[in-house]
Copies of this chain bind each other. A is one copy, B any other.
Amino acid sequence: MKKIAVFCSGYGSNLQAIINAVKRGRINAEIGLVLSDRVDAFALVRARRAGIPVLFADPVALPDREEFARYVCRQLTARKIDFVVLAGFMRILAPYLIRRFRNRIINIHPSLLPCFKGAHGIREALSHGVKVTGVTVHFVDEICDNGPIISQGSLKIKEDDCEQSLAKRIHKLEHRLYPEAISLLLEERLRVKGRKVYIDG
């Protein structure tokens, strides 16, 4: 069985959706590690409750991004991790790690990329006045929120939406899309060709 590591920095609602999908057999993998760059991330509590090994990768002890990546990479290798799933991980990974796990690290972003990259995708969609936004699952490459797109889902913005009400619907969509994409990744059905991702079978 394939082993995945989930990287989180916060509340871990996507982690929970992944844990649930594993339990229900919708994702055929073992979560071999939950890694956080914040010691107080609630995601770590969720992982411990589910009996998953946790690791706090301390960015104060590892202030250099390349050193941080090398440390993380050693941990992943030692634990025989096949794929890395970023789930609200608010740190940019050094090219060293991305090269070592080329097309084996995926991320979820709360907008229809390439629109509204960065840490405030929901807020920026609202303030730009778009009527449709969504969620993107993509491979991680050396540029932030740029890698080949695996799947996207859209939703309508309502006239009275605030950041909170919109975030609620975005997260609901994320919790559906992410386990689906992870499952395709694990089944090795995703084929990357340039910027395009094809789904086999």
Contact = CB atoms under 8 A, between A and B. Distances in A.
Give how many copies assemble into the complex.
2
A154 B131 CA distance: 10
Contact of A196 (B114, B129, B194): B129
Contacts of A115: 112, 114-115
Interface residues of A, number: 25
A129 B195 contact: yes
B112 A129 contact: no
A152 B199 CA distance: 27
A129 B152 contact: no
A128 B114 contact: yes
B152 A130 contact: yes
A170 to B, nearest CB: 14
Contact of A112 (B112, B127, B159, B199): B112
